[in-house]
Structure 1
């Protein structure tokens, strides 16, 4: 989808065609839209397609007629009744006359700019526009990081009451998200450093405070992502140790029950043979004709069971 905006009389208005001082917003653009923008602005088609690859790295490219800035932005996607977080690239291309943004999806990052709710935003102030996008991007990272932190606390409370595979897998998913966030934020920090020294992007005195805020917010987001990731990794390791300890306890109980079961099968076998009533002839059961025969059989059975128990407790199979 292609939309064009321009600041008119202090208000953001959507117009039909790009003109000097306007902003062209491409969200999940078609090939026809990309070709038309490339033809009208002189931007290379390959550069317009670059942010449509979700593996595209953050960078700053300075061409002859334009400068392209690619940063990673966060996004939330609802799947199976819960939100999943990931990062996608956003391209900001600055030409002499206008500014172009390209993203593979219609991101909420740019909606406040389209609605005119960002204070001090003008489409013709290209340097400030870039900084405002980067500032809002850093604040979105911070907001999603706080949501992830609350989600991890909720999962921790659930896991304290019952160990479920679903909650543990969700913790691993959140930890993976934090790693992606931290990596993307560090790449964005490198982009910020290049922007501060890039002569093509003019640094106006009025934008110095905004630039400082962008750098501060981005660094805070990096620190929060690293802290939350460390906490979540420690939490995951702790619950993994608990699960492992529970498995060991179950194994010990099963070991004891197995030894008892095998040991009790010995007297059961002996008593079963004596219950077959072979009392006469040369194949009769021993001690059946003696008054003390029952006591002897019981004692012998207990001794054999004790020997079997002693052997099994010493056996390597049950260690």
Structure 2
């Protein structure tokens, strides 16, 4: 039995593949390398001691996806394949809707045709929009997200719920907050293509003098220091949650399952707090400039992840400083390649 991991050479995907291999799952990766690089495959093998099967193609190519299902006895799927930049999604809405939703539908069609279950969806806290109360739990009402990226995640969730109910399938929706950090080996981490869209990679590249200054998008939010607040979760903790969720799905005797979990630390940190923590953890300077707010961004979001702790026996327990330390080690590794 194999687990299909789409986008498995990407940031969260590669860390999750390592955790799956460490738990003796056979892993089949499909990744078009649009947001990753081939050397990550070799690094996964170095870190885990096992080599996953890899297919380099776009999931919108239905005929190639069918061939993968023909070649392997797929028991489940963890779907990471998606464009993910909030700002870019506002500029390229059609590309985001097509890529993020068509690829999902193609996988589900294979699930239906071949009677496969156990699907885990890489969702996002953006489905809550700007929540009225903090912390955000799974019962917090969903709002129309501010960004096109967030809308694709919310639409993906609805597609999966309808699919599970109509076809008696088992699915889990994992709503991430903000993943950061790198593998302790320093051989896996976030690898932005071009100018980073997420905060921590931009901080990392600024500290490394690849970027002249960090752009902080707004200092007039109604927060303690005026900058936006997010829940930053260490990527390895996040990856382990996927394995726990997958095992729960596989072990479930119910024909139809729709599980939803928030994955976060339960603590919010502002942009400036992250910058200062990065400087402190790594003894480096991060020059920055304040810019206008960025379209699609919300003010504050942090999780209540009690449900995941109770039902998955999982908890994010890595500190912000430690996660940021691993980020800098990853940057040093990249400089030696």
The verdict on a shared fold, with TM-score over 0.5 as the criterion, is no
TM class by shorter chain equals under 0.3
Structure that is richer in helix per residue = 1
Larger Rg belongs to: 1
More relative contact order, 1 or 2 (CA 8 Å, 6+ apart): 2
User: TM-score, normalized by length of structure 1?
Assistant: 0.22
User: TM-score, normalized by length of structure 2?
Assistant: 0.21
